[in-house]
Amino acid sequence: MKLKLKLKDKEYEVEISEKEEGVKVKVGEKEFIFEKEKKKEVSTPQLSFEKRSFSEKEIKAPIAGTVTEIFVQEGDVVKKGQKIILLSAMKMENEIISDSDGKIQKILVKKEQKVKEGEILVVLK
Amino acid sequence: MQIKKYQSASSTQELAKKEKNPKPWTIFWAKEQKVGYGRKKTAWFSPKGGLYFSIILPKSNIEDLQTLTVLAAFVTAKIIKEDFKLEPFIKLPNDVWVNGKKIAGILTENVIGKEIKLSVMGIGLNTNVEKFSKELKETATSLKIELKKAVDDEKILKKIVNGLKKQLKTISE
């Protein structure tokens, strides 16, 4: 779609087209591509504040049990699927794995500690 | 039932957990384990002669898995009693004893992320182990020691797995 815009006394030729990566807006010889994700970020106020709370993830005990082993240390960089904690519960051994990539910010439990269902074990950043 | 046989393995639980495409009821069976283990990572003495296998379980809720773990001891004890006329004793939750000595152990391990990703049950049964070390002699026994004759590992394995399938079906109904 091509259009001409007149702002104050200057005329601009604007071309808008949809590309795979997003919406392309051409103004004169300059091209701007608005990716879907980027567009959302730009329009979100208080970006840094929101991002902070979203980027912290808690790994919680899925069931009540006893922490048998802790496979990580604070500061460790972990990958999605990596073993974090071994929880003995309901007569079974449960390997709690990380659901995402991240860095271990805080470990809130100790070996042999009993935990309740939903209790936070580890904070991931 | 797909059975993957190994002459030797570090642990059948580890093999099962590493399986890239874990299909329910795939069995990992090793003639011996170098680092066999039970609950809380206690070692499970696994020389040649014993029956050591791990089963990839179908996705189930955690309560059903717990029930199945206890029932696995029951299934194993039932075979020991009915097929070999011994008097087994179930040491809850997951050991089977004969004549005051441990003969079988069961361990279920779950891998949990957002949900249960994988459940593997391992069973160690002292079938044809001929003797135990000094340290274990007083606390462990085998079918061969009790019966004074060898037993068929494959037959027992299949019987246990089929028994478990039946039990899980009953639980999930």
Average pLDDT score over chain B: 93
Average pLDDT score over chain A: 83
Task: Say whether A62 and B112 touch across the interface (CB within 8 A).
Answer: yes
Mutation for A interface: B66, B69, B112, most A CBs within 10 A: B112
pLDDT value for A54: 56
Joined tokens for residue A66: 């006893």
pTM of the model: 0.78
The nearest alpha carbon in chain A to B40 belongs to A68
pLDDT over threshold 50, residue B52: yes
Cα distances (Å, whole numbers) of residue B86 to B37, B145, B147? 26, 12, 8
What are the strands of the beta sheet with A22-27, ordered from one edge? A2-7, A10-19, A22-27, A30-35
Task: Say whether A91 and B108 touch across the interface (CB within 8 A).
Answer: yes
The string of pLDDT tens digits covering residues B54-104 is 999 999 988 899 999 999 999 999 999 999 999 999 998 889 999 999 999
- Of A10-24, A45-59, A74-88, A92-106, the poorest mean pLDDT is in A45-59
pLDDT value for A26: 85
Select the residue of B69, B112, B114 nearest A91 (Cβ to Cβ). B69
pLDDT over threshold 50, residue A48: no
pLDDT over threshold 90, residue B166: yes
Q: How far apart are CA A33 and CA A17, in angstroms?
A: 10
pLDDT value for A39: 47
Cis amide bond preceding B93, omega within 30: yes
Mutation for B interface: A94, A96, A97, A115, most B CBs within 10 A: A94
Q: Provide the ipTM.
A: 0.89
CB contacts of B39 in chain A (<8 Å) are: 88, 91, 93
Instruction: Give the rounded percent of residues in chain A with a pLDDT score beyond 90.
Output: 50
Joined tokens for residue A20: 């795979």
The nearest alpha carbon in chain A to B64 belongs to A90
Mean pLDDT of B122-151: 95
CB contacts of B37 in chain A (<8 Å) are: none
Mutation for B interface: A92, A98, A111, A124, most B CBs within 10 A: A92
Amino acid at A25: V
The string of pLDDT tens digits covering residues B14-47 is 999 999 999 999 999 999 999 888 887 788 889 9
Q: How far apart are CA A57 and CA A124, in angstroms?
A: 5
Q: Provide φ and ψ at B19, rounded to 5°.
A: -55, 125
Burial class (CB in 10 A: 0-12, 13-18, 19+), B156: buried
Amino acid at A8: K
H-helix or E-strand containing A27? strand A22-27
Select the residue of A62, A69, A92 nearest B109 (Cβ to Cβ). A92
pLDDT over threshold 60, residue A42: no
